Structure 1
Amino acid sequence: MAGWAWAAASRCGTAHRDADGHRQDAVRVVAADGGVLIAVACDGAGSTFHGRYGAVISARTISQRAKAWVTAHALLPTPLLIDLWVAEARLSIIVAADRLGVAAGDFANTLVLAISDGEEVLTAHIGDGAVVAGLTVPNSLVVLSWPQGGEFAAETFFVTDTDPQLRIGSLRGWTIDRLAVMTDGLERLALDFSAAVAHPPFFDRLFGGMIAATAPGPCKPLSDALGRFLDADAVNARTTDDKTLVLAVMR
Structure 2
Amino acid sequence: MPIQRGQRGGQLQSSLHWRWAAASCIGTSHLRMGTRKQDAFSVMRVHSDAMCAIVSDGAGSASHGGQGAVLVCRTLRVNFRNWFKQHEFLPSDETIMCWIDQLRDHLSLVAEKRGVTRRQFASTLVMLVVFKDQVLALQIGDSALVARKEGVWEAICWPENGEFASTTYFVTDDPEVRLHIYRFDRKHDAFALFSDGLESVALEQATQQPFARFFDPMIKPVDLARENGRLAELSEALARYLHSPALCDRTDDDKTLILVSCK
TM-score normalized by the length of structure 2: 0.90
Aligned residue for 1:53? 67
Matches within 5 A, 1:145-184: 145-162=157-174, 163-172=176-185, 174-184=186-196
Matches within 5 A, 1:179-218: 179-218=191-230
Render the CA deviation track for 1:132-179: whole Å, top value 9, x for unaligned.
Answer: 1112xx32112101111111000101000112211111221x422101
Aligned residue for 2:261? 249
Q: Secondary structure at the match of 1:176?
A: coil
CA–CA separation in structure 2 for the residues paired with 1:80 and 1:232: 42
Counterpart amino acid of residue 130 in structure 1: A
CA–CA separation in structure 1 for the residues paired with 2:228 and 2:92: 25
Deviation at 1:20, TM superposition (A): 1.4
Ranges in structure 2 where 5+ consecutive residues have no aligned partner = 1-13
Aligned residue for 2:246? 234
Render the CA deviation track for 1:210-238: whole Å, top value 9, x for unaligned.
Answer: 13531221111111111011111111111
Aligned residue for 1:81? 95
Render the CA deviation track for 1:188-217: whole Å, top value 9, x for unaligned.
Answer: 111111011110011001001213531221
CA separation of 1:4/1:71 partners in 2, compared to 1, >3 Å: closer, same or farther? farther
Matches within 5 A, 1:99-178: 99-117=113-131, 119-135=133-149, 138-162=150-174, 163-172=176-185, 174-178=186-190
Q: Secondary structure at the match of 1:26?
A: strand
Deviation at 1:121, TM superposition (A): 1.7
Q: Secondary structure at the match of 2:189?
A: strand
CA–CA separation in structure 2 for the residues paired with 1:22 and 1:31: 28
Q: Secondary structure at the match of 2:91?
A: coil
Matches within 5 A, 1:18-97: 18-97=32-111
8 A contact 1:30–1:67 mirrored in 2:
no
Compute the RMSD of aligned alpha carbons. Answer: 1.4
8 A contact 2:223–2:262 mirrored in 1:
no
8 A contact 1:119–1:176 mirrored in 2:
no
8 A contact 1:58–1:86 mirrored in 2:
no
| Of 197, 217, 220, the match for 2:232 | 220
User: Percentage identity across aligned positions?
Assistant: 36
Ranges in structure 1 where 5+ consecutive residues have no aligned partner = none
TM-score normalized by the length of structure 1: 0.94
CA–CA separation in structure 1 for the residues paired with 2:132 and 2:25: 28
Counterpart amino acid of residue 179 in structure 1: F
CA–CA separation in structure 2 for the residues paired with 1:87 and 1:225: 37
CA–CA separation in structure 1 for the residues paired with 2:132 and 2:226: 17
> Which deviates more, 68-77 or 154-163?
68-77
